[in-house]
Amino acid sequence: MIKADMKKAISIISLLLSIPWVSAQMDDQLEEIKNTYESGELENAMTAFNSYIASNDQNYLAYKLRGDCRQKLLQYEDAILDYDSALSISKEDPRIYVSRGAARMSLGKLKQAIRDFDKVIEMDPDDADAYFNRGGALYLSFDNRGALKDLNRALALNPDHADALFIRGVVKGELYDEKDGIEDIERALSLKTELDGAQMSLAVLLYEIEEWQNAIEAFSKVIDAKDKYLTDALYYRGDCKYNLGNKETACVDWNESADLGDDDAIYIVANYCNTDSKKIPKKRKKKRNTTITF
User: What is the torsional sign of CA 84, 86, 92, 96?
Assistant: negative
Predicted local confidence at residue 282, as pLDDT: 76
pLDDT over 70 at 284, yes or no:
no
| pLDDT tens figures, 16-58 | 454 444 445 678 899 999 999 999 999 999 999 999 999 999 9
Confidence of residue 15 (pLDDT cuts 50, 70, 90): very low
C-alpha to C-alpha distance for 110 and 233, rounded to whole angstroms: 30
Q: How would you label 90-120 residue by residue, b for 16+ Cβ within 10 Å and e otherwise?
A: beebbbbbbbbbbbbbbeebbebbbbbbebb
Residue ranges per domain, the chain? 196-294
Predicted local confidence at residue 170, as pLDDT: 95
Predicted local confidence at residue 236, as pLDDT: 97
C-alpha to C-alpha distance for 23 and 43, rounded to whole angstroms: 23
Predicted local confidence at residue 6, as pLDDT: 39
Instruction: Classify domain 196-294 by CATH architecture.
Output: Alpha Horseshoe (1.25)
Percent of the chain with pLDDT over 90: 84
Residue 254 and residue 234 in contact, taking contact as beta carbons nearer than 8 Å: yes
pLDDT over 70 at 209, yes or no:
yes
Confidence of residue 247 (pLDDT cuts 50, 70, 90): very high
Predicted local confidence at residue 21, as pLDDT: 46
DSSP states of 69-125: HHHHTT-HHHHHHHHHHHHHH----HHHHHHHHHHHHHTT-HHHHHHHHHHHHHH-T
| pLDDT tens figures, 93-137 | 999 999 999 999 999 999 999 999 999 999 999 999 999 999 999
pLDDT over 80 at 13, yes or no:
no
Helix (H) or strand (E) run with residue 218 in it: helix 212-225
- Say what the pTM is: 0.83
